[in-house]
Chain A
Amino acid sequence: SQQGEEDPQALSIQEGENATMNCSYKTSINNLQWYRQNSGRGLVHLILIRSNEREKHSGRLRVTLDTSKKSSSLLITASRAADTASYFCALYGSGNTGKLIFGQGTTLQVKP
């Protein structure tokens, strides 16, 4: 399957703690993207990391990519209740199709 597999499926933490979500995949990729989805809403793009990059930061977000292990992780530091959402990794394959394949997502609950 080209779909990313996310781990864990659900994560519950206290406000202020860090949250780490992982995405593993099997195909070669051009880039990997992370999205957030609040309940009942559309997805919001967080970070895009290209296959030749190893780490990217955006505010409290840190994404790593290990193409040798075919895995990526999303770290949210100092989490807030507002970070409660589902987080999806999405793969853009090397086939240049313009399509993203989304993983099943990790549901994050941050308790105040």
Chain B
Amino acid sequence: DAMVIQNPRYQVTQFGKPVTLSCSQTLNHNVMYWYQQKSSQAPKLLFHYYDKDFNNEADTPDNFQSRRPNTSFCFLDIRSPGLGDAAMYLCATSRYPRGQGAHEQYFGPGTRLTVT
């Protein structure tokens, strides 16, 4: 089945130790998103790729970086995790032909990040 896959599902890292979360998709969607979601809060968009074009949200900390080496894969790098970065990180994809409005987003199961 076509899907969005996130690995690992649970990640524990130490304060200040770089960590990478991965996302892959078999939907062949052109847009990929990374969200941060803290307990009982709305998902907060960190950045998204429209094809290869990277779009960073204005309030996303510099500590968060992303890479999209090809259509199928996208990575979230947290360079120096702090305790406040503990959260669920959600990857999503969408098919978005420019000028036609956003279609629905397909989410992965998320990666729960713990910072010790």
**Chain A interface residues toward B at CB < 8 A:** 3, 30-31, 33, 35, 40-45, 48, 50, 88, 92, 96, 98-105, 107
Contact = CB atoms under 8 A, between A and B. Distances in A.
A50 B101 CA distance: 9
Given A41-B109, A43-B90, A44-B107, A99 B45 contact: yes
Interface of B: 4, 6, 31, 33, 40-43, 45, 48, 50, 55, 88, 90, 92, 94, 96, 98-99, 101-110, 112
Given A42-B90, A92-B101, A102 B106 contact: no
Contact of A102 (B31, B40, B42): B42
Contacts of A101: 45
B107 A98 contact: no
Contacts of B55: 98
